[in-house]
Amino acid sequence: MTGARDRVLEEATASPTVSRAEFEARAPALRVALLNAQFDLRASNESVVLLVAGDDRLGIAELVQLLHEWLDARHLDTCIFDEPTPEERERPRYWRYWHALPARGRMAVFVGAWPIDAVGALVSGQLDDIGFEAALLEMLEFERTLANEGTRIIKFWVHTPPAERARRLEQVRRDPRHDWRVEPSDWDLHEIHARAEPHVERLLLQSSTPWAPWHVLDGRDDRTRDLALAEHLVADLGAARAAPPAQSVPPLSPNPGRLPAVDLGRVLKSNDYERRLDDLHGQIAELSRRARLAGQSTVLVFEGWDAAGKGGSIRRITQALSVRDYRVMPVSAPDEAERAHHWLWRFWRALPRAGTVLILDRSWYGRVLVERVEGYIDQPTWQRAYGEIRGFEAALIERGYVLLKFWLHIDPAEQFARFKARENTPYKKYKIGAEDYRNRARWDDYAVAAEEMFARTSTASAPWHLVGMNDKRAGRIEIIETVCAALARRLDDVAPSA
Amino acid sequence: MTGARDRVLEEATASPTVSRAEFEARAPALRVALLNAQFDLRASNESVVLLVAGDDRLGIAELVQLLHEWLDARHLDTCIFDEPTPEERERPRYWRYWHALPARGRMAVFVGAWPIDAVGALVSGQLDDIGFEAALLEMLEFERTLANEGTRIIKFWVHTPPAERARRLEQVRRDPRHDWRVEPSDWDLHEIHARAEPHVERLLLQSSTPWAPWHVLDGRDDRTRDLALAEHLVADLGAARAAPPAQSVPPLSPNPGRLPAVDLGRVLKSNDYERRLDDLHGQIAELSRRARLAGQSTVLVFEGWDAAGKGGSIRRITQALSVRDYRVMPVSAPDEAERAHHWLWRFWRALPRAGTVLILDRSWYGRVLVERVEGYIDQPTWQRAYGEIRGFEAALIERGYVLLKFWLHIDPAEQFARFKARENTPYKKYKIGAEDYRNRARWDDYAVAAEEMFARTSTASAPWHLVGMNDKRAGRIEIIETVCAALARRLDDVAPSA
């Protein structure tokens, strides 16, 4: 095993290089095949990420050029991932990659990206060996998540042996006509890559999957490298897309469910409510200012029955916040651009800046609620979603976000009364329609879906809070108390007040 | 005049406030009317920006809440414009507003935004009086540009008289139950607004137009303020959209045109070309590194006849650049999201970060070339585009970008030969189709459009460079020389090399 590990890179540079005559004989047909593959992609439901990384900076730059010359550049996006910007650092690590993902029918070249993040962090000492293993697992999960929704990921590592790299650096430095090709930092990079080599071997072996394979390109010779790239691309794009195998979903142990246990009988008097709300507004205003200064971000998820009081509860929170500290995201059916991407894409993109609050009026949980119950997606797809959601939320928590999830619960009689009240208020009528009554008729199906959701996505760091809302006043107070307590606990940890 | 100036704000707070009974009598009908207006908007070709600013921070926050409660929040975007982020500072001042503009059919609330930028810069001393006048003109031009393409802009200034503001600040500070409503910075803001008042009067008077009116809201009383907002909105949204009057286009003086003067006879030998190209690559690599360090951004526009050699010329530049320092943007027909916005939106969004190069393979000039010649837009629209383009480019230049515009010129015989060569190369066939021959048949129409474009958009700071490309080698060298010279000149100014 260790023996094999040493040789992925070595083997890639062991074959003879390609002659000019051979290159010129083979290139034209490959170029036509590439254009055809790109053309077919445009009419398909798939997207393609071509990841280009390696130890040969100039080789990578030349490959990016080649891809733009050999493919139709109008349908090719290019994203260079250098050091994260301040904006990017405020979000989970994969945020910038989600942001840049191509829409269905399109192809994008990613330069550097997540493999370089992981190797770079290990070589610089930010990650130890265990941390690197964890980064590899995160990488595999990310690629699997994309592949499940139709993204092909094809990864290239451009390898030039260290001795050859050093020789070239010396040569171009001595030749004044070409010395502009060397950047001052190239010698440092050369050293770093030499040290990184064993870790790169590990990366290439452990993160090559049928749906996101690695290909090592021989950087010693331009023509050999270019032909190999084109041949791999034509072969991979021409083959049927490899989908990750379904992961088994453990059966749920029988349980009475959490909804019946929610207390719907509490009542809070108007005076008590006003006094308590005022007090909590003071707390949350103060906490949100501390959060702003500490760069502490918060995500609040509101789910629950129609007319359970999501909007009103959200407004009772935002009333106490400064407009620049929060954003409310109402979630309904995805628009065209959103449908052209992975279903989690719109939620990744919305993640808040440091120090601010994102409040979701409905959320990614629609995947396992309305989309499941209404049959918009098939069973394997919504079953897969539990894991996708856990992965997404784990990324938020790892980045240090406070994440709170509320299910606002009422009983069917209360819902019926609220529907009627809406119908009788001219400016609330628009909130109620035939669809709401249809959903209501499927109450039991939604309850089953909600119970499975609680069971599969309540984690220690992101539990579900079920709140009885038959009495809106009692429910709102409970919600704001929960938010204040969680935020205070976190801020006392990360930024104790004076 | 001076008398009137003093009174815009005063008059807004001179009427009696609204009683609770009156509010409750009038609010329901207004809410229904607002929802209906929003519903009608969704099916229309228009978009709406509701700008909310003022001297009453809490009042503004409450209005944002109100808008989200009274309108359908699912179809309402909210953008808070605070201090510009580092990313925003690297772009022209209006970049962040362009970025945030709502699509057709949608409505957005902008808080703060460009009026606050201008007043803030004046009060803080960043702008003098003349600079403030210039900022007002820029504001008017921006709003006119949006209005011309179907954006309604409705602006609200929430005004609470200084004495009343001071009284409230004192009161909430003394009342421990409400003191969370005051932020430490509110007293500073209060002072700043007191000093800003005469300038605000000027702003309100000079930047209120039929297509982007200001309404001053009485901040002394919540109900009065809320009703006034709703009434203005219902009235403005219900009225026919006011379009800015067409600006007169001065006739062009007769001239022989610039195309006939382009030298198409030059020839550069292969050896000379290779040597010169290599030398220029060294220069441009060095210059781009200096630009990266100096934060100097560059925008290169490539226009010209089909098959004139845009792609090849661009590649001869990017070959010498590091992948992270440039981006090539191929411009073809706008996609759905782009069509739902102002035609300049996609170009504004693409503006490069500090220190990088954006290269456009075709550009915003399509508006006055293909869109004009093919009749996609009517004559007043393309005539208006010259001014819109000059305004856009002026913003780039004001921000310090180097902007170079190239027209790649060949003659019809050379074009025909290149079309035939493309047809005979399997991997270039996709670049040529019936459309290219149709365009070719309209050569004279395109020449007329190009000449008018040169005449109307060549400015001292952004002239057109016409390059003869019958000999590609000579043309490419001329282009890269022009880029190097311009960049060197600029860098010697802003960041002299050691």
Which DSSP category does B138 fall into?
H
Task: Note whether B176 and B284 are same-domain residues.
Answer: no
Instruction: Show Cβ contacts of residue A312 under 8 Å, excluding neighbours closer than 6 positions.
Output: A472, A476
Task: Note whether B232 and B279 are same-domain residues.
Answer: no
CA-closest candidate to residue A17, choices A163, A197, A226:
A226
Element (H, E) at A111: strand A107-111
Task: Note whether A208 and A298 are same-domain residues.
Answer: no
Question: Based on C-alpha coordinates, what's the Rg of chain A?
Answer: 27
User: In this predicted model, which residue has the larger pLDDT, A45 or B249?
Assistant: A45
CB atoms A427 and B31 under 8 Å: yes
Task: Please compute the mean of the pLDDT values over residues A343-358 and round it to a whole number.
Answer: 97
The pLDDT score that the predictor gives to residue A498 is 54
Residue of A nearest to B286 (CA): A180
The pLDDT score that the predictor gives to residue A213 is 97
CA-closest candidate to residue B368, choices B453, B253, B300, B303:
B453
Q: Are A397 and A482 in contact (CB under 8 A)?
A: no
Q: Are A301 and A463 in contact (CB under 8 A)?
A: no
Assess if residue B250 is contained within a domain: no
The pLDDT score that the predictor gives to residue A1 is 37
CB atoms A279 and B177 under 8 Å: yes
- Cα angle: A302, vertex A91, A496; to 5 degrees: 80
Amino acid occupying residue B150: G
The pLDDT score that the predictor gives to residue A54 is 96
Task: Note whether A223 and A286 are same-domain residues.
Answer: no
Q: Does B376 touch chain A (CB under 8 A)?
A: no
pLDDT digits (tens, 9 = 90+) for B395-411: 999 999 999 999 999 99
Helices (H), A239-328: 270-294, 310-318
CB atoms A323 and B179 under 8 Å: no
In the predicted model, is pLDDT for residue A3 greater than 60? no
Q: Which two tokens stand for residue A17?
A: 């290089």
Instruction: Show Cβ contacts of residue A152 under 8 Å, excluding neighbours closer than 6 positions.
Output: A46, A47, A48, A49, A211, A236, A237, A241
Domain-ending residue, one of A203, A238, A273: A238
Q: Are B470 and B413 in contact (CB under 8 A)?
A: no
CA-closest candidate to residue B34, choices B5, B75, B4:
B75
CA-closest candidate to residue A406, choices A468, A453, A465, A484:
A465
**Nearest CA-CA distance, residue A70 and chain B, Å:** 8
- Which whole-number Å values give the CA distances from A12 to A55, A168, A207, A269, A399, in the listed order? 13, 19, 17, 75, 37
Which DSSP category does A78 fall into?
E
Q: What are phi and psi of A203, to 5 degrees?
A: -55, -50
Residues of A in contact with B426 (CB under 8 A): 28-29, 31-32
User: In this predicted model, which residue has the larger pLDDT, B181 or A473?
Assistant: A473
CA pseudo-torsion sign B458, B303, A64, A167 = negative
Rounded to whole angstroms, the Cα distance separating A365 from A369 reads: 6
Of B177, B282, B330, the CB nearest to A180: B282
- Which whole-number Å values give the CA distances from A101 to A152, B30, B471, in the listed order? 11, 43, 40
Task: Note whether A291 and A204 are same-domain residues.
Answer: no
Residue B346 belongs to what domain range? 259-494
CB atoms A179 and B319 under 8 Å: no
Number of domains in chain B: 2
Assess if residue B252 is contained within a domain: no
The average confidence (pLDDT) of chain B is 94
Confidence band, pLDDT 50/70/90 cuts, at residue A376:
very high
Residues of B in contact with A181 (CB under 8 A): 285
Across the beta sheet with B464-468, the strand order is B326-330, B357-361, B298-304, B402-409, B464-468
CB atoms A35 and B430 under 8 Å: yes
The pLDDT score that the predictor gives to residue B498 is 54
Assess if residue A253 is contained within a domain: no
Domain-ending residue, one of A188, A203, A238: A238
Q: Does B350 touch chain A (CB under 8 A)?
A: no
Residues of B in contact with A39 (CB under 8 A): 430
The average confidence (pLDDT) of chain A is 94
Residues of B in contact with A323 (CB under 8 A): 60-61, 64, 78, 80, 111
The pLDDT score that the predictor gives to residue A497 is 66
CB atoms B69 and A337 under 8 Å: no
Assess if residue A426 is contained within a domain: yes
Q: Are B330 and B362 in contact (CB under 8 A)?
A: yes
Q: How many helices (H) and strands (E) does chain B have?
A: 20, 10
Rounded to whole angstroms, the Cα distance separating B117 from B112 reads: 8
The pLDDT score that the predictor gives to residue B6 is 58
Q: Are B309 and B469 in contact (CB under 8 A)?
A: yes
Across the beta sheet with A357-361, the strand order is A326-330, A357-361, A298-304, A402-409, A464-468
Task: Note whether B372 and B264 are same-domain residues.
Answer: yes
Q: Are B52 and B158 in contact (CB under 8 A)?
A: yes
**Nearest CA-CA distance, residue B159 and chain A, Å:** 18
Q: Are A53 and A111 in contact (CB under 8 A)?
A: yes
Rounded to whole angstroms, the Cα distance separating A368 from B70 reads: 30
The pLDDT score that the predictor gives to residue A179 is 80
CB atoms A61 and B332 under 8 Å: no
DSSP 3-state of B328 = strand
Question: Based on C-alpha coordinates, what's the Rg of chain B?
Answer: 27
Task: Note whether A294 and A363 are same-domain residues.
Answer: yes
Rounded to whole angstroms, the Cα distance separating A418 from B91 reads: 49
Positions in chain B whose pLDDT score sits under 50:
1-5
pLDDT digits (tens, 9 = 90+) for A223-238: 999 999 999 999 999 9
pLDDT digits (tens, 9 = 90+) for A48-103: 999 999 999 999 999 999 999 999 998 999 999 989 999 999 999 999 999 999 99
Q: Are B467 and B479 in contact (CB under 8 A)?
A: yes
Task: Note whether B270 and B361 are same-domain residues.
Answer: yes
Q: Does B85 touch chain A (CB under 8 A)?
A: yes
Assess if residue A256 is contained within a domain: no
pLDDT digits (tens, 9 = 90+) for B160-183: 999 999 998 888 888 877 788 888
Task: Please compute the mean of the pLDDT values over residues A251-259 and round it to a whole number.
Answer: 90
Task: Note whether A180 and A285 are same-domain residues.
Answer: no
Assess if residue B251 is contained within a domain: no
Amino acid occupying residue B293: L
Q: Are B242 and B211 in contact (CB under 8 A)?
A: yes
Task: Please compute the mean of the pLDDT values over residues A108-136 and round it to a whole number.
Answer: 96
Q: What is the dihedral of CA B468, B474, B476, B479, to 10 degrees?
A: -70
Domain-ending residue, one of B169, B204, B238: B238
Q: Are B361 and B306 in contact (CB under 8 A)?
A: no
Of A180, A315, A427, the CB nearest to B65: A315
Assess if residue B34 is contained within a domain: yes
CA pseudo-torsion sign B424, B427, B430, B431 = negative
The pLDDT score that the predictor gives to residue B3 is 46
CB atoms A68 and B328 under 8 Å: yes
In the predicted model, is pLDDT for residue A5 greater than 60? no
The pLDDT score that the predictor gives to residue B173 is 80
In the predicted model, is pLDDT for residue A287 greater than 90? yes
pLDDT digits (tens, 9 = 90+) for B289-301: 999 999 999 999 9
Residue of B nearest to A275 (CA): B177
HEC secondary structure over A435-482: HHHHHHHCHHHHHHHHHHHHHHHCCCCCCEEEEECCCHHHHHHHHHHH
Residue whose token pair is 């080649």: A66
- Which whole-number Å values give the CA distances from B204 to A13, A52, B5, in the listed order? 70, 54, 9
Residue of A nearest to B32 (CA): A427
Task: Please compute the mean of the pLDDT values over residues A112-140 and round it to a whole number.
Answer: 95
Of B183, B318, B332, the CB nearest to A65: B318
CA-closest candidate to residue A278, choices A9, A465, A480:
A480
DSSP 3-state of A301 = strand
CB atoms B323 and A183 under 8 Å: no
Which one of A156, A284, A318, A323 would you mutate to disrupt binding with B, by most B Cβ within 10 Å of its Cβ? A323
Rounded to whole angstroms, the Cα distance separating B50 from A338 reads: 25
The pLDDT score that the predictor gives to residue A6 is 58
Pairing of strands B326-330, B151-159: unpaired
Q: Length of chain A, please?
A: 498
- Which whole-number Å values give the CA distances from A412 to A262, A305, A370, A409, B72, in the listed order? 14, 9, 18, 10, 25
Rounded to whole angstroms, the Cα distance separating A408 from A413 reads: 15
Interface of B with A in 420-459 (CB under 8 A): 425-427, 430
Task: Note whether A70 and A177 are same-domain residues.
Answer: yes
Of A35, A318, A336, the CB nearest to B65: A318
Q: Are B373 and B452 in contact (CB under 8 A)?
A: no
Rounded to whole angstroms, the Cα distance separating A211 from A217 reads: 19
Task: Note whether B149 and B16 are same-domain residues.
Answer: yes
CATH number of the CATH domain containing A128: 3.40.50.300
Cβ atoms within 10 Å of B495's Cβ, excluding its own: 14
Interface of B with A in 216-275 (CB under 8 A): none
Assess if residue B244 is contained within a domain: no
Task: Note whether B43 and B105 are same-domain residues.
Answer: yes
Confidence band, pLDDT 50/70/90 cuts, at residue A44:
very high
Rounded to whole angstroms, the Cα distance separating A282 from A260 reads: 33
Amino acid occupying residue A167: R
Instruction: Show Cβ contacts of residue A460 under 8 Å, excluding neighbours closer than 6 positions.
Output: none
pLDDT digits (tens, 9 = 90+) for A180-214: 888 888 888 999 999 999 999 999 999 999 999 99
pLDDT digits (tens, 9 = 90+) for B250-276: 888 888 899 999 999 999 999 999 999
Q: What are phi and psi of A404, to 5 degrees?
A: -125, 135
Rounded to whole angstroms, the Cα distance separating B137 from B263 reads: 41
